[in-house]
Amino acid sequence: MRIPLSNVNLSDIEKRYARDALETGWISGTGDYVKLFETLLRQKVDRQCARVVSNGTVALEIALRALGIGPGDEVIVPALTFVSPAAAVRTVGAKPVFVDVSPDTWTIDPEWIPLSRQTKALIGVDLLGHLCNWHDLDNTLIGQDVFMIEDAAEAHGAVGQGRVAGSHAFISTFSFHANKTVTTGEGGAILTDDPDLAFEIRRLANHGMNDKRPYWHEVVGTNARMTNLTAAIGVGQMIRWDALVAARNQVATWYDERLADLFANTDLYRRPVADWCTEACWMYAIGSPQRQPIIDALRANGIDARAIWTALCNLPLYRESCRGEYPVAKKLSDEVFLLPTWAGLPENAVDEICTIIRETMRQKA
């Protein structure tokens, strides 16, 4: 593909830190860059504790385990998301239960949460750079004894309801996968303000071992540590966080300007943004009941446009997680597609992409 969907943006800063980690020989899960990355991250999203781990999926698994969630428990998960939250719930032996997304935010609809006596937690996904309505979710779940987990993997830099992505729930997680806005190649993080929980998270991620007492294993843990080499890249990305977020939002603005008339006059639509949220566009997403010819035309021209994920409620693997219908998740899954979005995507690439969309729509009209 000539214009990829996603691309990493690494500067000399990341390269310098990575080289330093290599030269010092500190390349395992212990080292100063790990500690520094955790400090910078915690400060950036205004949390008391941060633990970086090997990826965003493992971050969710450890968050669930730290909350004691396992067999017999149910966890509410949106029907439209990348699969990780649902898979993490299954991995710890619990059952994901799907909730539909709201047409206004494409995130969990706080009106229709399928709670049961087994519900122990809810994982809200800040989808495609837009926050969940955490305020309404809090109100819906008040007095319910349901833990809130925020999966902010797609929302580095999004702001709303007085807080940034990664600070809205009891536990919040990030991914730093190569396609994410802030990246370390592979990586993740778990954040909380609760020191006991932070202790448990650290222990679970480090062989269930007491930090103060070597080879004294208190719980069955795993090794989910991020390497110091990876964290060195992360420290560089932390310094550039605002610029990386702004660069993607600039790309979104370019798309918005060029597609505005199509949004106004055709059935093409843009991902909605609620008035209480400032989006941090991770992937620019648009939808149309006739998306396939547009995707085909873009791909024929070497542009990596892609249909959004299959709604999880449509996957046979997760049939037991359905409670009723999921009309919004299914419609979006059938209609939405993602356009190339990355820091450094040239403006004339956006021109070309939008011209192809326009031409294809005119031919089909």
Report strand pairing: 306-307 vs 336-339.
antiparallel
Q: Which two tokens stand for residue 84?
A: 């990780």
Instruction: Find the part of the chain contacting ligand PLP (CB under 6 A) among 49-57, 297-305, 313-321, 324-332.
Output: 49-57
**Does residue 84 bind ligand PLP (CB under 6 A)?**
yes
Minimum CB separation of residue 20 from ligand PLP in Å reads 24
**Does residue 82 bind ligand PLP (CB under 6 A)?**
yes
Minimum CB separation of residue 190 from ligand PLP in Å reads 12
> Which of 6, 9, 57, 341 contacts ligand PLP by CB under 6 A?
57
**Does residue 6 bind ligand PLP (CB under 6 A)?**
no
146-185 mask for ligand PLP (x: CB under 6 A)?
Answer: -----x-xx--------------------x-x--------
Minimum CB separation of residue 311 from ligand PLP in Å reads 14
Minimum CB separation of residue 35 from ligand PLP in Å reads 21
Minimum CB separation of residue 216 from ligand PLP in Å reads 30
**Does residue 61 bind ligand PLP (CB under 6 A)?**
no
Please identify, using beta-carbon distances, which residue of 10 and 354 lies nearer to ligand PLP.
Answer: 10
Q: What is the DSSP string of 200-267?
A: HHHHHHBTTB-TTSTT-B-S---B-BPPHHHHHHHHHHHHTHHHHHHHHHHHHHHHHHHHHHHHHHSS
121-140 mask for ligand PLP (x: CB under 6 A)?
Answer: ----x---------------
186-225 mask for ligand PLP (x: CB under 6 A)?
Answer: --x-------------------------------------
| Residues ≥6 apart with Cβ < 8 Å to 45 | 164, 165, 166, 167, 172, 191
**In angstroms, rounded to a whole number, what is the distance separating the alpha carbons of residues 214 and 92?**
26
50, containing H or E segment: strand 49-53
277-278: strand order across its sheet: 163-164, 159-160, 277-278
**In angstroms, rounded to a whole number, what is the distance separating the alpha carbons of residues 44 and 53?**
17
Torsion angle of the four alpha carbons 205, 170, 186, 310, in this order, in degrees rounded to the nearest 10: 120
Q: How many CB atoms lie under 10 A from the CB of residue 114?
A: 15
Residues that bind ligand PLP (CB under 6 A): 55-57, 81-82, 84-85, 125, 151, 153-154, 175, 177, 188
